Amino acid sequence: MTILVTGGAGFIGANFVLSCLRAGEEPVVNLDKLTYAGNLGSLAAASANPRHLFVKGDICDLELVSDLLRQHAVRAIVHFAAESHVDRSIRGPEDFIRTNITGTFRLLEATRSYVATLPAAAREAFRFVNVSTDEVFGSLGPDAIPFDETSGYFPNSPYSASKAAGDHLVRSYFHTYGLPVITTHCSNNYGPFQFPEKLIPLVILRGQKGESLPVYGDGMNVRDWLYVEDHCEALRAVLAGGKPGATYNIGGDCEKANLDVVHEVCALLDELHPLPGEKAHRELVRFVADRPGHDRRYAIDAGKIRRELGWRPAEDFRSGIRKTVVWYLQNQDWVNDVSSGEYRNWLATNYGSGVDAQ
């Protein structure tokens, strides 16, 4: 029996694949289209592992997915594959509609047909874990209680709207067809292998070069931060003990304003990679025009997964962010591989004058 992971060359997906391979003997089939944010370099530790099979392909390819399910006797799917960057969804939403909605639909269809062929015990044990985001719930006021599993959906970007649509499809396949699905909603992840368009790796990589550090608006947008390896452990707990049809919120119980996050990264860079002349990294911060529809605050109530499955994060932000900064400073080859010309062009397009020309 095998786990099929979609999007397993992306940030969270690659960490999850490596976590599974470290933890047990079960084979992993890893299906990824290898768009700009997918990187086989993130899977280097799995390259010689006979329990890992990488397949380059698209979740929209119904025939390919169906063949993989049958050929490898898949007993569970963990679905990461998604376009996931809000800024990119604002500038080009069509790819988000195709992958996050159409791709999820076709994956569900292939799974429904496959599960119908399984013996009763295998059908009962099968799981489809849909990895979603807290962004589907919209923006919270400063004093509002955190999102829980009963919170309504109020997506405010093409990205979060497309993920919300995928979530609704997943839910419908449970209620209409009895497909054993589970949806998780995670808060902002950080850690190794994150593509450097996201806030924390952006600050680390630009800060170590002494380049300007662009921060949207006033920097007071608040997010809950979750170390990626903690997220992977939560997903493994959901896969092992989650109830079909249920949803689980996964958060780090760590609300921080973006500017505070930037300042903490800067302080670590001052310690671990000081600039010439004793210049402080926080002097590099440059405020840039806010993005359209920028949600002010997200916060996650992860009480349900703690109570039902016994999961809680192992890292607090102080320990997790130190591990993250150290990893990026020590893995320059990976950084250089992903920092392509296309990535530099994106920075200039998205942040404009807030980013130094390189």
Q: Hey, which residues are catalytic here?
A: 134-135, 159
Residue 211's contacts (CB-CB under 8 Å, 6 or more residues apart) are 284, 355, 356, 358
What phi and psi values does residue 175 have, to the nearest 5 degrees? Answer: -75, -30
Whether the Cβ atoms of residue 262 and residue 280 lie closer than 8 Å to each other: no
**Cα 356 to chain center, whole Å?**
28
**First-residue to last-residue Cα distance in the chain:** 49
As given in the structure block, the two tokens for residue 233 are 């452990």
From CA 145, how far away is CA 252, in angstroms rounded? 15
Contacts 24+ apart (CB under 8 A), 45-49: 45/18, 45/21, 46/17, 46/18, 46/21, 49/21
Dump strand ranges (E) for the chain: 2-6, 28-32, 52-56, 74-79, 127-133, 181-186, 188-190, 213-216, 222-227, 247-250, 255-257, 285-288
Round to whole Å and give the CA distance between 200 and 11: 13
171 Cβ contact list (under 8 Å, min separation 6):
181, 183, 245
357, burial (CB in 10 Å: exposed 0-12, middle 13-18, buried 19+)? exposed
